[in-house]
């Protein structure tokens, strides 16, 4: 079966299963935050800190060592990954591979391509920005801390981003698609939902709601990749490359990941037309490159067409 969304019809795909499954995965994911909250609470307690400040983002980010904080933040996504596997395999009786790809085997080469395209671009733009505006950055490379960060990032960031891709572009996209038997609704709902997931990020508080254009636009980019390529490999690679390379290269005191990166951005941020450039210019270029590499065709039917669910499916 070469229809990525229709693969869900090979398992139990009643609407109520996706409603319950989505909720259960979210709860399991949130259970994964307990070690982080527990570690921060313990550190505050032994230091005589105010436990009521646990709801404060600065407290969560600043109480523990930054590398330990980074690891514990990402640990919740590893728990969430286990949760989505559990629900797919035992609640929907669906092969886990079928929530990842239509191909016979998971295509690691596609993951590498997706990772490389965005990784190269972020690295190049960061170097260019640092060269043109050196006063906006603080050189922060401390090899002992950076190597620990790199080890954590290389292992944990792909788990984080793969969980998000499976949850949104795999599980939810397939579920909405087989329930409503079309592609445009899961394309829109999962993209907007992915953007709204980032509503609590400190970047939103610092830059305002206009930054949601970037988050929702990224959701559409990743969803289009999944639908056009009939699998998640490219979006998994792209998402991992974006998060990992950014975490290693540059951070700021107002970003979700505050890491022992090579550079710290010190200039007060502002948002203008530049927030539209990635969504309107750079993302279409990404799609054009991948469309050429993988010979994507039938854009209208793949993005907006019907989903044919076999009548004999369970």
Where exactly are the structural domains of the chain?
A: 5-304
Question: What is the per-residue pLDDT across 192-209, written as a single tens digit (0 to 9) for each?
Answer: 999 999 998 888 888 888
Residue 139's DSSP bridge partners are 263
Which tens digit of pLDDT belongs to each residue from 10-63?
Answer: 999 999 999 999 999 999 999 999 999 999 998 888 887 777 767 677 777 778
Of the chain, the percentage scoring pLDDT greater than 70 comes to: 98
- Predicted confidence at residue 24, as pLDDT, reads 98
Tell me the two tokens of residue 196: 């709204």
Specify the residue for token string 């259970």.
Answer: 31
Tokens of 154: 């290389």
CA–CA gap between residue 76 and residue 32 (Å, rounded): 4
Sheet holding 263-265, edge to edge: 137-139, 263-265, 250-251
**CA nearest 301: which of 172, 182, 169, 170?**
182
* 110 has a pLDDT exceeding 50: yes
Q: Which of 208, 173, 141 is closest to 18 using CA atoms?
A: 173
Average pLDDT, the chain: 92
> Coil, strand, or helix at residue 59?
helix
Rounded distance, CA 90 to CA 82, Å?
12
Residue 10 has what pLDDT? 93
Q: Give the model confidence (pLDDT) of 129-142 as tens digits.
A: 999 999 999 999 99
d(CA 202, CA 208): 10
CA distance 307 to 314: 16
pLDDT at residue 312 in the model:
58
Q: What is the pLDDT of residue 56?
A: 73
Looking at the chain, the whole-number percentage of residues with pLDDT higher than 90 is: 79
Tokens read off for 239: 């998402």
pLDDT digit string, tens, across residues 148-159:
999 999 999 999
* Cα–Cα distance for residue pair 275/204, rounded to 1 Å: 13
Say whether pLDDT at 313 is over 50.
no
C-alpha–C-alpha distance, residues 67 and 258, integer Å: 9
pLDDT average, residue stretch 92-104 = 97
Tens digit of each residue's pLDDT (9 = 90 or more) over 196-243: 999 988 888 888 888 999 999 999 999 999 999 999 999 999 999 999
For 56-63, which contacts have Cβ atoms below 8 Å and span 24 or more sequence positions? Answer: 57/202, 60/36, 61/258
Please write the tens of the pLDDT for every residue from 265-290: 998 877 777 788 889 999 999 999 99
Please write the tens of the pLDDT for every residue from 68-78. Answer: 999 999 999 99
pLDDT at 314 over 70: no
pTM of the model: 0.93
**For 84-91, what is the mean pLDDT?**
98
């Amino acid at each position: 079966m070469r229809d990525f969304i229709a693969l869900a019809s090979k398992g139990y795909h009643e609407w109520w299963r996706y409603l319950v499954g989505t909720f259960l995965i979210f709860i399991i994911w949130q259970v994964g935050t307990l070690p982080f909250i527990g570690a921060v609470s313990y550190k505050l307690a032994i230091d005589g800190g105010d436990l009521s400040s646990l709801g404060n983002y600065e407290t969560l980010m600043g109480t523990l060592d930054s590398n330990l904080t980074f690891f514990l933040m990402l640990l919740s996504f590893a728990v969430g990954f286990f949760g989505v596997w559990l629900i797919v395999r035992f609640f929907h009786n669906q092969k886990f591979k079928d929530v990842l790809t239509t191909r016979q085997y998971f295509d690691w080469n596609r993951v590498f391509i997706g990772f490389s395209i965005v990784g190269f671009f972020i690295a190049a733009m960061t170097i260019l920005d640092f060269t043109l505006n050196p006063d906006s950055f603080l050189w922060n490379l401390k090899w002992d801390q950076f190597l620990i960060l790199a080890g954590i990032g290389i292992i944990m960031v792909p788990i984080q981003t793969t969980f998000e891709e499976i949850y949104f572009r795999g599980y939810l996209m397939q579920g909405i698609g087989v329930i409503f038997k079309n592609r445009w609704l899961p394309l829109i709902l999962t993209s907007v939902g992915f953007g709204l997931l980032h509503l609590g990020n400190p970047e939103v508080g610092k830059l305002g709601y206009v930054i949601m254009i970037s988050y929702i636009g990224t959701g559409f980019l990743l969803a289009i990749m999944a639908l056009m390529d009939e699998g998640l490999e490219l979006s998994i690679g792209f998402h991992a490359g974006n998060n990992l390379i950014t975490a290693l290269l540059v951070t700021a005191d107002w970003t979700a990941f505050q890491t022992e990166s090579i550079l710290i951005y010190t200039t007060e941020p502002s948002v203008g037309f530049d927030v539209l450039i990635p969504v309107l210019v750079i993302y279409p270029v990404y799609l054009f490159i991948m469309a050429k590499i993988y010979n994507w065709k039938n854009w209208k039917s793949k993005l907006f067409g019907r989903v044919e669910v076999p009548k004999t499916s369970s």
